[in-house]
Each structure stands twice: as structure tokens, then as C-alpha cells.
Amino acid sequence: MGTSLSVTGQKDRLRRLWKLSWPAIIEQILGTMVSYVDTAMVGALGAVGSAAVSVNNPPLWLVHGLLQGVGVGYSVQVSNAVGAKDTEKVRTVVRQAFLAAFVCGLLACALYEGISGALPRWLGAKPEVLPHAVNYLRIYCAVLPFDAILYVFCAVLRCMGNTKTPLIFNTAANVANAILNFFLIYPTRTWHPKAAFLRSFDGVTIPGAGWGVEGAAVATAISIVLASVCIGVAALRQGEYATTLRGGVRPDGNIIRRAAYLGLPSALERAMVNLGQVATTALVGHALTTAAMAANQIATTAEGLCYLPAYGIGYAAVALVGQSVGAHNKEDAKAYGTLTGVLGALLCLFTGAALFCFASPLAGLFNTDAQVVAETALALRTVAFSEPFFAASIILTNALRGANDVRFPMMVGLVCMWCVRVPLACLLILGFHWGLQGVWLAMAVDLVCRGIACALRWRSGKWLALSGLDRA
């Protein structure tokens, strides 16, 4: 890798960035498209179906955030070892990552299964929603050990420089989820063709289990198990870093301590952010209507379209900055962080504009209730302007983690969520009675603050000392 910011060097960096980013971006787009189909399928059951899934999203985001923290702890070590060309260290970290993922997944499963009967009620699920919400959570949480392996090893593979394998298996899992939804959510029904030349047919019988919301949970659980097995095997067979779990894996204290140093702040950040999302979801559930809760779920799903490029580029940022740190290349580390942050913000400027312009048609894809569609569209237009700032925060947070600056993103997440979003949402809903729009305006202010804070941190260069590059 070059150590200057020459035109040739930048072109090389752009090519390498694109090579790592495009599979991750496509993975995010395809995953979200299938998620849209999933949400629309549940939405066809009405506001109760959408609300049963919606009320469980924040606690699931919470556990996913904790699992992402585990992934950060091990994947950053992998990227540093790849940059240092230490093949044996990569293999050792991969084996330790498998042990950590399985243990953390089991602990999360035990905890969530224990409180699943009460958690949706705490979050404000209405009586007609509660039974379905509890069943959905119990089914999903039964496969959390597999979910942990999926999260951790997708991160590990990306930091090895392999973003295509997560694309392949996550896309396959999402497609399988949508297909299983088709047969598990709805009852057996007859399809009558509308085309004139087919009207002579009596119709086609389509089998179905008719499990409703619970069917969606079973479909998701099956797809997670299949994807996690495939991803785990792929990580253990990754080219020159191929390794094996034969004979068991003994805990390595040095790697575990390093993983805790790198991953714990990330896990705490996600925990604080997701607990804030739990708080705002509970606020919506207790203070607003079932239609508002359904709109909140749909808007959350639809908004994901905007920052898909940011997550794809963010995966490349942590790998490229982490490998540059391992290779003791300060100029590449600085250039990759700046390049990814600017590129992601520009892309999300365009996706945010599209979200604002097409908010109503997008909302209408997921629900036919006029009130739900109207509230969803208003929420999306409210948050659209903050998307470039959110993109910058996603990407630069990953770049900072790749440079071992893991505590600053934690503090940003904590302060912006609990000192900005949650109190502002409470004020706007309970004090000014702005309804669901108040929650989304508070979120937009939070995202703008995060983007500005992360950009200032990267520009300051304080992360150089934490990565050891100040002496390079």
C-alpha cells in the first residue's frame, strides 16, 4: 500500500474500497428489500400484526447490538493481524471468536427466554397484540446462539477482506425467509388468475400453515440457523486462514482481554442506544395508538433504505483502517477514514432526498390503513434531512473502531441518545402533543449531533495515539 496521498494512491484506495464495499452494499440492499417484503406480509394481517413485530424490535436490536460488540472485539483483532501478515494470529482469533459467539448467544437466549413473557407488556403492547408479541419473541430468541455466530463471523470475514461470502449467505437466508413467510403466515388459499386467457382455470390451491405473526417468527428462525451454519463453515475454511475446531477451543486470556477492550465499549454503546429505542418505543406504545405503533415499525423499516450505503462502506472502513493500523501505515489509515466518511455522506444525501420525495408511496407498500400510511410518511419526511449525518456517524464510528478508538463512539451514542433523543421525545409527545412526529424529530436531532461529533473526532486525529500510529 502507498503511503502518500498522490492521485495514483487515491485511485488504488478507491478501487480497494469499492472492492470491499459493493458486496456489502448489495447485501444491505437485498436484505432490506426482503425485510420490506417481510414487513408487508405481516402488515397484511393488519395493525395488530405490525404492532406485534414492532414492539419486539427494540429488545432484539439491543441483543443484536451486544452481539455486534462481540463481533467488533474479534474482527478488529483479525483486521490488525491481516495487516501485520500474521496468519497464525488470524487463525487463533477466529477460533476464539467461535467460542465467544456461542457462549454469548447461549447467555442471551437464556435471559430473553426468561423475560419474554413480560417484556412486550413492559413495552406497551395492547391486549390484542400481547399474545402474538410474546410468541414472536420466544420463537426468535430460541435461535440466538446461531444469531450470535452469524453476527460475529460476518464481521470476521469482512475484516479478512471477504465481503462476498456474507453477501451470498445472508441474501440466501433473506430469500428463504420470504419464501417461508409465504407458506407459514397465511392459511391455505386459492389463487384465481385475473388474466383473461387464464380464466378457464378454476384456480390454484396454495398450501399454508396460517400461523400469522408466529409463522413470520418461525420463518426468521429457520433462515438464521441455515445462514449461521454456512457462515461459520466459510469462516473456518477461509483461504490461507483456514483452521479447525477439532479437539476443542481453550479460552485465550490475552485475546479475550483484547476483545473485551475493543468490543465492550461498542456493546455498551449499542446497549445504551437500543435501550433508548426501547424507551421511545414504550413511549409510543403507552402514549399513542396501535396505529401509531404500527406506523413506527413501518417507518423504521422504510428508513433503513437511506443508510444502506453507509453500512456497506462502514464495513469496508473498519477493515481498511484496521489493516492499515496493523501494517503501521498512518497515511493509508487517515486517507481511508476520510474517504469513506465523505463518500457515505454524499451517497446518503441522495437517498435522504429520495426518502422525502417518495415517503407516501413507500409507506403504502407496507400497510393499507390510511392512518398508518399518513403517520408513516410524516415520520419519514421528518427524519430525511438527517440521513447524511447519520451516514457519517456510522462510517466514522467503524473507522474509529478500526483505529482502536472505541470509547469515543460509546460516549457519543450514550450522550446523544439519553441527553438528546429520549428527553426531547418525551417533551414533544407529553408536553407539546406532537404524536409520532415528535419521536422522529427527536431522532433526527440525535443523528445530526452524532454525525457532527464523529466527524470532529476523526478530523482531530486524536485516534492516532490510541492506534499507535502517532509514532509511525
- The domains of the chain are located at 7-471
What is residue 362's predicted lDDT score, i.e. its pLDDT? Answer: 87
Q: Tens of pLDDT along 39-74? A: 677 777 777 888 888 788 878 888 888 899 999 999
Burial class, 118, CB count within 10 angstroms (exposed 0-12 / middle 13-18 / buried 19+):
exposed
What is residue 8's predicted lDDT score, i.e. its pLDDT? Answer: 42
Three-state SS across the chain? CCCCCCHHHHHHHHHHHHHHHHHHHHHHHHHHHHHHHHHHHHHCCCHHHHHHHHCCHHHHHHHHHHHHHHHHHHHHHHHHHHHCCCHHHHHHHHHHHHHHHHHHHHHHHHHHHHHCCCHHHHCCCCCCCHHHHHHHHHHHHCCHHHHHHHHHHHHHHHHCCCCHHHHHHHHHHHHHHHHHHHHHCCEEEEECCCCHHHCCCCCEEEEEECCCHHHHHHHHHHHHHHHHHHHHHHHHCCHHHCCCCCCCCCCCHHHHHHHHHHHHHHHHHHHHHHHHHHHHHHHHHHHCCHHHHHHHHHHHHHHCCCCHHHHHHHHHHHHHHHHHHHCCCHHHHHHHHHHHHHHHHHHHHHHHHHHHHCHHHHHHCCCCCHHHHHHHHHHHHHHHHHHHHHHHHHHHHHHHHHCCCCHHHHHHHHHHHHHHHHHHHHHHHHHCCCCHHHHHHHHHHHHHHHHHHHHHHHHHCCHHHHHCHHHC
What is residue 7's predicted lDDT score, i.e. its pLDDT? Answer: 37
Residue 205: phi, psi to the nearest 5? -85, 125
Q: List CB contacts of 200: < 8 A, sequence separation 6 or more.
A: none
What is residue 368's predicted lDDT score, i.e. its pLDDT? Answer: 76
What is residue 198's predicted lDDT score, i.e. its pLDDT? Answer: 57
**Residues 97/74, Cβ–Cβ less than 8 Å:** yes
What is residue 5's predicted lDDT score, i.e. its pLDDT? Answer: 35
What is residue 324's predicted lDDT score, i.e. its pLDDT? Answer: 93
Q: Tens of pLDDT along 317-370? A: 999 999 999 999 999 999 999 999 999 999 999 999 999 999 999 888 777 788
What is residue 1's predicted lDDT score, i.e. its pLDDT? Answer: 36
- Residue 425's identity, in one-letter code, is A
Cα–Cα distance between 36 and 298 in angstroms, integer?
Answer: 9
Cα–Cα distance between 286 and 306 in angstroms, integer?
Answer: 28
Distance of CA 194 to the CA centre of its chain: 39
Instruction: Tell me the chain's radius of gyration from C-alpha atoms.
Output: 22
What is residue 64's predicted lDDT score, i.e. its pLDDT? Answer: 87
What is residue 444's predicted lDDT score, i.e. its pLDDT? Answer: 96
Mean pLDDT by groups of 10 residues along the chain of 472 residues:
44 89 85 68 79 82 87 95 94 95 95 91 85 92 94 94 92 89 86 61 77 90 94 92 85 94 90 82 79 83 83 92 93 94 93 92 82 91 95 96 94 94 93 90 96 96 90 68
